Amino acid sequence: MINKDLQVMTKMTSAGLPAHEMTYRALKELLLFGEIAPGQAVTIQGLVARLDVGMTPVREALRRLISEGAL
């Protein structure tokens, strides 16, 4: 799964998207396809490692998903 996550992020990087947008899209995809299950505990550090991005883009993506009601 992690290898697939990195492939998604690599594809978005080559599209020239900012880190916070790539992270948001990757997390949303993980949620939509059930790779992060409802109620599953996740940590910022775990998502940083899984998506190979910094803490700030992860925090921004989580805030955005919360504001949309996805989390």
Return the HEC string of 53-64. Answer: CCHHHHHHHHHH
Q: What is the pLDDT of residues 13-64, one digit of tens each?
A: 556 889 899 999 999 999 999 999 988 999 999 999 999 999 999 999 999 9
Cα 59 from Cα 1, distance rounded (Å)? 21
State residue 53's pLDDT score.
Answer: 92
State residue 16's pLDDT score.
Answer: 80
5/48: higher pLDDT? 48
Query: Domain count of the chain?
Result: 1
- For 39, the domain range is 2-67
Q: What is the CATH number of the domain that holds 8?
A: 1.10.10
Per DSSP, the residues of the chain read -HHHHHHHHHHHHHTT--HHHHHHHHHHHHHHTTSS-TT----HHHHHHHHT--HHHHHHHHHHHHHTT--
State residue 9's pLDDT score.
Answer: 55
State residue 11's pLDDT score.
Answer: 55
